[in-house]
Amino acid sequence: MLDQFTSRWQTITTFFETQSFPTNDWARLGSWSYWTGGPLDSQTPYYAFGLAVFLISLIALEVWRRRLKKAHQATPVYTVPLVQISNVFYFLLLMVPSYWFFRIQSISYLSSRLVLGAAFIIALAWVIWIIIVVKRRLPQEQVSYLEKERFFRYLPTTSASDQSGRKKGKNK
């Protein structure tokens, strides 16, 4: 039994040794001809890599949104980042399948690498903007919110039953 497991493990090891991720396209990323050229071949390993990056991005955005939602329950100042994270999530959820659809339909302009690169740059800039808002603006808003909450906590409040009782007492 051990020999059978060892031989299968050796087969898997040999398979991974023969596989290689082509890096010749990485050197051409800075050239305009790469981005305006035709779409990538369907047999390239970039699809698996792209799918993995896409899924990891969606999972990371969802985890980040849930963490901010918990923080929002404690101090409700995270409305803008929560909405924007959801917008980026749905933007990616719309762009990647549409790119895949345009590739299948052989619509060359909408399935070009330029469209995919532009969508990636837009999503990346959007996430950077959200990070800047969370790191720079929200701590000030959180302090302001907590100060207002503390200030109004110590102000005397009059409830509706107190006001109605006073009115009745005056009428007597």
Count: domains in the chain: 1
Of 97, 102, 96, 87, residue with least CA distance to 118: 96
Q: Which of 11-20, 51-60, 145-154 has the lowest mean pLDDT?
A: 11-20
Which burial class, exposed, middle or buried, applies to 115 when counting CB atoms under 10 A from its CB (0-12, 13-18, 19+)? middle
For residue 21, is it within any domain?
A: no
For residue 126, is it within any domain?
A: yes
For residue 90, name the pLDDT band (cuts at 50, 70, 90). very high
For residue 58, is it within any domain?
A: yes
Cα 126 from chain centre: 9
Question: Could you give the 3-state DSSP secondary structure of residue 156?
Answer: coil
Which two three-digit tokens encode residue 43?
Answer: 């047999």
For residue 125, is it within any domain?
A: yes
- State mean pLDDT over 91-102: 89
How far is residue 11's CA from residue 4's CA, in Å, rounded to a whole number?
11
Determine if the pTM surpasses 0.75: no
Q: What is the pLDDT of residue 44?
A: 62
For residue 43, is it within any domain?
A: yes
Q: Which of 38-42, 47-51, 83-87, 90-94 has the lowest mean pLDDT?
A: 38-42
For residue 169, is it within any domain?
A: no
Residue 70 belongs to what domain range?
38-148
